[in-house]
Structure 1
């Protein structure tokens, strides 16, 4: 069925009226439109056709190397020659120096067009931001230009078989040598882009490893750069042990990687690894939220195309039928839900990315990073499931390319920290920081949206804030967060989503389709935001799962 088409007008509308991108001092709306217009043409013409190829052919392990389909290699050559890898990198490092939000908009386009292609490229941006924030001058001057040019791609090597979300259990060892360098030995799993042939295998691995005599737990972890190739052009002692066979994301090489005394250099000082890696981890969590938006968009596009053409039965009492199914009430409910999630998550995530670039609300970013990651990835799951339902039996067939969205999207609530971990982080730490600074800044954001909203939407948002107050008081009083943390996170996400839609509705006259914006905003206000009170009631439940006997959960 249809390839993804960049929703350029919707993206530009969300950037201006949802995200408030003009708050950025170096924002140029005309330039942004020109850049994204060119990006959209490139994505639609070069990247989108890769998606079915990647799903069918996948990536193969040949003689210990990950080999992606040749069409991906050619597409990357054109992507690199266009200067796209360095879009938002400072000019001193060879980039174009444009706002980071434009790179995120491009990332959304790539995610909707071909998520597996986007996934291999995405880690380079987080790696550059990590090096700019934490690397030495020599490391920045050496590695950022290589990544900005596209000559190298990057990985994030955290996970080990015994250390998934609990990084304190990591065993990979880094040993110092006399020349001031280090040697890394150990194994990492689930390494996206752990090897590939887009850059002839040239990769900058960022590795968390433990140094000799380091304390136990996360305080004993340090961060290292371990390149795939040494200065003389020979390969470092890094090898791919296994290429994972996965439910989806078939063309994204997910590798088990072995470091056998691989040469490396430390970033910062011993013991600072996790703190420095958090720059990349948080950047990647927001990029996963962007992936969720792209996947929701392509699910919506295929649903609208099918529902417009497919004729079944009669809609209402008039006419002889068969009518297009987009006239049937239940299908319209599903389509409106998809529209709401795609455009609302776009506005919410983009606003968070703009706030992050402004750097003025750190406590709010601590809250909104996990909220966006969880809410947008759950939205991707829901829109994919609705796309299958709208297609009926055809949705279960590969030919119509919506079941692939469901398979590809299923990893997004898992990687870069599961959504359950995001919920536990918010309920257990973020809302308690600095005497509740995150919640105060969030309340100010929602109140600001309400002040500009229509009266009906403003009333709904203020009612939602009252429910949040009750839920927050209950969460702060709880000892066992396991039952309620996910509901609490979703409550905050729905309220942020509602605020995003109130901004879009207030600017509906400037939308590419004002009628669609107003209809969808009403649906969000009257149908979707009702869930907030049910979520608040769940948070106030006194039951605690920790008190249940262990044998309840044993096989």
Structure 2
């Protein structure tokens, strides 16, 4: 049976040594209580809950799935009880305003908790995870009355939340949605329509579910300019009466079986407008950005889960002798971890897990600043976060799926067998590249909206940070070789952007043709920056006489591995970004013969 152990030492390394979180929290109004002792205590308790309660339910959730019966959904064995423990522990309220029952801690601490919870059991984590986005949306855009009625119950965990965007005929193109909202005399609205792929849309874990729904008013303009946002509760808060929203069915899926993916039918369901009329998409982006960073965590989660278990297996499984001579002389064969091909898969997972953790935690600290910092620092953090979000979401889920496959491959034929948990990890990981905007959509968002539409300013915000780091450490005796390569890639990043922009002025299809490879190139360079930082910190720790030489030497070796055996992937992505578009678009649809 696969197991999970929260990598607390690595979490503390990234948070405290690389990102200087203690100074970060001390500098932000309202975050002063997040002392190192408090943060460590929270992480240790979160680790216990994740390891002891959630991880043992992961395979149970996959095997049992959710059961649907006449509109009601029953979650797998143990899920409901685990959620009650989660609520009793105060975990839902961790990073929310005390005014509504929250503990007022920084968002970034909640992000680290979410990593542990999600890695232990991703399907279970989606139930409270969707609530988090609903809470953020209400915090930003809800009226005082809506916050008192709904936000307080969501923060306590008594109620859970969802977001309802997708319809049978439209996914990413929300301008096509048809769900209608008719105004009522009492100021409420009656919503009618069908939403699909609604995670945690119906379940038995909480007493009420608050749906955040996109719909059109009768006089709404066409397209995305005519979308409004509504709160639609399963049960009406005051009367307790059942609202006109029901689950029509649940999907039979490739993975994440423990989470109910629902078809939700709204039949004159009573709803309440959030924010201004016809500005729902703007309000929903609060939810979507939260969800996209949450999905980036999913990429890390499947990498970490696969890495931990395949590492244990590789140390134990005996097969053949090392090409350089026997290493396990008392046994019939050597453990497979000695073989270079297996080492390559393990090191790749390790590099993506630890590098991805740095990327996500850095983004989480930016989220803190967007909520707590002064005006200019807040604006700068918001711009940088907007640039990094599509990279984190798409890149980390792509390499997360790659890593999950590496983990299965390490097991060989046993990886294909359910009891080891590796094939589940692959199946569960696959959705991360699809929901909350596919990799292709994230790539268009990055290159088209975030980079080219800002004339490259959003890119410069980050490349300047990398440039300053490279300038400061160009002559460093330990990481100078890494810095030299990072500086060259950072320069090429801007040049590639200029080339795509020039081509796009003649043919806008050039953006779509280059976008995915541009995003992957970007992801590898961003990770290279964090690995250079981590190597620098590790060298400094060793120079200071740290007693953890093994830990820090492993960081240095993994950084070298990343630069020598993973970062060269940028070459192929750069060539594709520069490639002629003609062979891609020249073939007529009818000529795609078979």
Structure-1 separation of matches of 2:364 and 2:499: 30
- Alpha-carbon shift at residue 264 of structure 1 (Å): 0.7
Residue matched to 1:368:
388
Partner SS for 2:350: helix
Residue matched to 1:356:
367
CA RMSD of aligned residues (A): 1.5
Kept in 1, the 8 Å contact 2:138–2:147? The answer is yes
| Structure 2 residue 188 is the aligned partner of structure 1 residue 177 | no
Residue matched to 2:352:
341
Runs of 5+ consecutive residues of structure 2 not aligned to the other structure: 371-379
Structure-2 separation of matches of 1:352 and 1:533: 26
Match of 2:218 among 203, 212, 219: 212
Q: Matches of residues 147-186 of structure 1 in structure 2 within 5 Å? A: 147-186=154-193
Once the two structures are superposed, what CA deviation does each residue of 1:328-367 show, in whole Å capped at 9, x if it has no partner? Answer: 1111111100000001001011101211221333222221
Residue matched to 2:412:
392
- Alpha-carbon shift at residue 139 of structure 1 (Å): 1.3
Partner SS for 1:205: strand
- Alpha-carbon shift at residue 447 of structure 1 (Å): 2.1
| Structure 2 residue 8 is the aligned partner of structure 1 residue 8 | yes
- Alpha-carbon shift at residue 268 of structure 1 (Å): 1.2
| Structure 2 residue 504 is the aligned partner of structure 1 residue 498 | no
Partner SS for 1:55: helix
Kept in 1, the 8 Å contact 2:192–2:267? The answer is yes
Runs of 5+ consecutive residues of structure 1 not aligned to the other structure: none
Kept in 1, the 8 Å contact 2:61–2:77? The answer is no
| Structure 2 residue 152 is the aligned partner of structure 1 residue 122 | no
| Structure 2 residue 331 is the aligned partner of structure 1 residue 331 | no
Q: Matches of residues 66-465 of structure 1 in structure 2 within 5 Å? A: 66-200=73-207, 202-230=208-236, 231-319=238-326, 322-359=333-370, 360-450=380-470, 451-452=472-473, 454-465=479-490
Q: Which moved more, 1:267-276 or 1:356-365?
A: 356-365
- Alpha-carbon shift at residue 128 of structure 1 (Å): 1.0
Structure-2 separation of matches of 1:550 and 1:210: 34
Once the two structures are superposed, what CA deviation does each residue of 1:147-205 show, in whole Å capped at 9, x if it has no partner? Answer: 110001000000001111110110000000111110100100000001010003x1010
- Alpha-carbon shift at residue 542 of structure 1 (Å): 2.1
Once the two structures are superposed, what CA deviation does each residue of 1:360-419 show, in whole Å capped at 9, x if it has no partner? Answer: 332222210000000110121011100111000101110111010000000000000001
Kept in 2, the 8 Å contact 1:107–1:291? The answer is no
| Structure 2 residue 496 is the aligned partner of structure 1 residue 471 | yes
| Structure 2 residue 590 is the aligned partner of structure 1 residue 551 | yes
- Alpha-carbon shift at residue 553 of structure 1 (Å): 3.8
Partner SS for 1:411: helix
Kept in 2, the 8 Å contact 1:361–1:441? The answer is no
- Alpha-carbon shift at residue 554 of structure 1 (Å): 6.4
Structure-1 separation of matches of 2:410 and 2:553: 22
Kept in 2, the 8 Å contact 1:427–1:475? The answer is no
Partner SS for 2:158: coil
Once the two structures are superposed, what CA deviation does each residue of 1:201-223 show, in whole Å capped at 9, x if it has no partner? Answer: x1010000010021111111000
Structure-1 separation of matches of 2:441 and 2:7: 32
Kept in 1, the 8 Å contact 2:60–2:77? The answer is no
Kept in 2, the 8 Å contact 1:156–1:206? The answer is yes
Partner SS for 1:507: helix
Kept in 2, the 8 Å contact 1:222–1:273? The answer is yes
- Alpha-carbon shift at residue 31 of structure 1 (Å): 1.2
Structure-1 separation of matches of 2:170 and 2:324: 60
Match of 1:61 among 47, 58, 68: 68
Kept in 1, the 8 Å contact 2:164–2:213? The answer is yes
Match of 1:485 among 477, 500, 515: 515
Structure-2 separation of matches of 1:13 and 1:141: 39
Kept in 1, the 8 Å contact 2:61–2:123? The answer is yes
Residue matched to 2:377:
none
Once the two structures are superposed, what CA deviation does each residue of 1:480-499 show, in whole Å capped at 9, x if it has no partner? Answer: 12322100001111111111
Structure-2 separation of matches of 1:347 and 1:260: 45
Partner SS for 1:49: helix
Structure-2 separation of matches of 1:343 and 1:44: 19
Structure-2 separation of matches of 1:2 and 1:547: 48
Kept in 1, the 8 Å contact 2:181–2:215? The answer is yes
- Alpha-carbon shift at residue 317 of structure 1 (Å): 2.8
The two structures have a TM-score, normalised by structure 2, of: 0.91
